[in-house]
């Protein structure tokens, strides 16, 4: 079957791989010169099922209000801007800020994230794909006793849904990750270890997986900008691009934050809004002073991942439209915290800043599956966890297209929930 995948981020590329493995004739369209060059380029590098807690939660409306007046807040939100897509997304977000919805959304996300981690592990065993992966878990650190207590409460919920975490004292954190010794002197209340989680370079993975997909017959058409999608009689008929039209029997929409712009051509209203995030990547000059295990600083809302001889620091979220411009003032908190936690890693003169637009849904659950167009499937809206959920989501879409029953329950993952 001829299948066109729209988008060559980590999600579209993984989709293309599993479809090519099934023997389909796959073409991927992307406007960048290579795969993985937009939001999948320099993310936090974590395969973190442990981050399945949704943003929308009972405490969030009050918290977001306070953050509005804090320029370096981890989540920046300016509802007074003229931005109807944000208002519509924000209302749906508010509806998800109940205890019951937060639990349901956590369970749905965790279902995909845990499955995806398994699919990634199997893929790695079968293909020996290399992407600076580290499989020693993710360590969450807390600076204050009350935050640590909140973290333990979340851990109890995650454990009930199948993700166990180990509670560690500050000393145990340092024994596990000696690079935290400096932090322990200042403020470290304790930590939680998610032993089965991982880290690795999403860009390198995407590039390597694209090669494996090509080896299975997939074609990646890069530097091709999609203009619109056409449909007739309940089926998508063709994709119009700046380099000619593309026809196929089946289409998969994986355009990250840009998915709603093209779904709109078909009358589909996808509640995906860009949540801009930042990262810095620094060269490691003193390897012993750099963390090996991937770390989430739960107090500062930042993650640290080691990628070979580099350290990636990522965080912050800004709901400010489809604006991919880099604001140096948002990089500053990342740099400050990196110097504070790991002062000896680098002299921090050679720092590569980056920002990307997370395709966020109001309930933090991705949008996967069929649509009212018989030959159009959605694989988008992965928000903060697109790297974590890419392989599992792709496998689910390949199963649906093949007419196989997906290996996990897909209840609550489709767009019908909106």
Ligand X SMILES: Cc1cc2nc3c(=O)[nH]c(=O)nc-3n(C[C@H](O)[C@H](O)[C@H](O)COP(=O)(O)OP(=O)(O)OC[C@H]3O[C@@H](n4cnc5c(N)ncnc54)[C@H](O)[C@@H]3O)c2cc1C
**Which positions touch ligand X (CB under 6 A)?**
7-12, 29-32, 37-40, 43-46, 48, 225-226, 254-256, 258, 277-279, 303, 314, 356, 358-359, 380, 382-388
- The CB-of-391 to ligand X minimum distance in angstroms stands at 11
Q: What are phi and psi of 67, to 5 degrees?
A: -65, -25
- The separation between CA 127 and the C-alpha centre of its own chain, rounded to angstroms, equals 23
Q: Percent helix, strand and coil across the chain, each rounded to 5?
A: 40, 25, 35
Is residue 385 within 8 Å of 51, Cβ to Cβ? yes
DSSP assignments along 48-103, one per residue: -GGG-S-S--TTHHHHHHHHTT-TT-SEEE-TTSS-HHHHHHHHHHHHT-SHHHHH
- Given the complex with ligand X, which of 40 and 299 has the nearer CB atom? 40
- Given the complex with ligand X, which of 174 and 277 has the nearer CB atom? 277
- The CB-of-351 to ligand X minimum distance in angstroms stands at 15
- Given the complex with ligand X, which of 170 and 278 has the nearer CB atom? 278
- Taking the C-alpha atoms of residue 280 and residue 292, their distance in angstroms, rounded to an integer, is 17
- The CB-of-94 to ligand X minimum distance in angstroms stands at 22
- Given the complex with ligand X, which of 90 and 392 has the nearer CB atom? 392
- The CB-of-224 to ligand X minimum distance in angstroms stands at 6
- The CB-of-26 to ligand X minimum distance in angstroms stands at 15
- Considering only CA atoms, which of 272, 267, 263, 228 is closest in space to residue 367? 272
Helix axes 145-160, 99-127, angle to 10 degrees: 70
DSSP assigned state of 7: -
Q: Where are the alpha helices (DSSP H) in 216-366?
A: 259-263, 328-341
- The CB-of-124 to ligand X minimum distance in angstroms stands at 16
Tokens of 64: 């977001």
Q: Which residues contact 33 (CB under 8 A, 6 or more apart)?
A: 222, 223
Tokens of 393: 């989501």
- Given the complex with ligand X, which of 9 and 362 has the nearer CB atom? 9
- Given the complex with ligand X, which of 38 and 207 has the nearer CB atom? 38
> What is the maximum span of the chain, computed from C-alpha positions, in angstroms?
66
- Given the complex with ligand X, which of 170 and 331 has the nearer CB atom? 331
- Taking the C-alpha atoms of residue 79 and residue 91, their distance in angstroms, rounded to an integer, is 11
- Given the complex with ligand X, which of 12 and 392 has the nearer CB atom? 12
Work out whether strand 2-6 and strand 250-253 pair parallel, antiparallel, or are unpaired. Answer: parallel
- The CB-of-221 to ligand X minimum distance in angstroms stands at 9
Tokens of 141: 């650190």
- The CB-of-11 to ligand X minimum distance in angstroms stands at 3
Helix (H, G, I), strand (E, B) or coil at 321: coil
- Given the complex with ligand X, which of 86 and 203 has the nearer CB atom? 203
- Given the complex with ligand X, which of 31 and 211 has the nearer CB atom? 31
- The CB-of-220 to ligand X minimum distance in angstroms stands at 11
- The CB-of-52 to ligand X minimum distance in angstroms stands at 11
Tokens of 11: 């999600």
DSSP assigned state of 395: H
């Amino acid at each position: 079957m001829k299948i066109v995948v729209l988008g060559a981020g980590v999600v579209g590329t993984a989709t293309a791989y599993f479809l090519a493995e099934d023997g389909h004739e796959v073409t991927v369209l992307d406007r960048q010169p290579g795969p993985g060059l937009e939001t999948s380029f320099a993310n936090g590098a974590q395969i973190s099922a442990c981050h399945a807690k949704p943003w929308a939660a009972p405490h969030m409306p009050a918290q977001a209000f306070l953050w509005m007046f804090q320029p370096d807040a981890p989540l920046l939100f300016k509802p007074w801007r003229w931005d109807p897509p944000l208002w519509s997304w924000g209302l749906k977000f508010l509806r998800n800020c109940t205890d019951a919805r937060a639990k349901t959304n956590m369970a749905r996300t965790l279902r995909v994230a845990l499955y995806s981690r398994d699919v990634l592990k199997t893929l790695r065993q079968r293909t020996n794909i290399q992407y600076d992966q580290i499989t020693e878990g993710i360590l969450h650190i807390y600076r204050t006793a009350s935050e640590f207590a909140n973290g333990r409460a979340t851990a109890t919920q995650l454990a009930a849904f199948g993700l166990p975490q180990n509670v560690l004292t500050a000393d145990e954190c340092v024994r596990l990750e000696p690079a935290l010794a400096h932090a322990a002197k200042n403020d470290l209340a304790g930590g939680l270890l998610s032993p089965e989680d991982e880290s690795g370079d999403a860009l390198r993975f995407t590039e390597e997986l694209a090669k494996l997909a090509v080896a299975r017959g997939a074609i990646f058409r890069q530097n091709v900008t999609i203009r619109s999608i056409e449909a007739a009689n309940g089926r998508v008929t063709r994709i119009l691009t700046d380099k000619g039209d593309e026809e196929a029997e089946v289409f998969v929409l994986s355009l990250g934050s840009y998915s709603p712009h093209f779904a709109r051509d078909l009358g589909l209203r996808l509640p995906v809004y860009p949540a801009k995030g930042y990262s810095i990547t620094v060269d490691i000059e003193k390897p012993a002073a750099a963390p090996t295990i991937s770390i989430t600083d739960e107090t500062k809302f930042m993650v640290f991942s080691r990628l070979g001889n580099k350290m990636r620091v990522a965080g912050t979220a800004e709901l400010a439209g489809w604006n991919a411009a880099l604001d140096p003032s948002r990089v500053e908190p990342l740099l400050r915290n990196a110097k504070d936690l790991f002062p000896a890693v680098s002299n921090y003169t050679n720092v590569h800043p980056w920002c990307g637009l997370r395709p966020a849904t109001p309930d933090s659950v991705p949008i996967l599956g069929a649509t009212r167009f018989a030959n159009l499937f959605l694989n988008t809206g992965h928000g903060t966890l697109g790297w974590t959920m890419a392989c599992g989501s792709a496998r689910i879409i390949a199963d649906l297209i093949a007419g196989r029953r997906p290996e996990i329950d897909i209840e609550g993952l489709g767009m019908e929930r909106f």
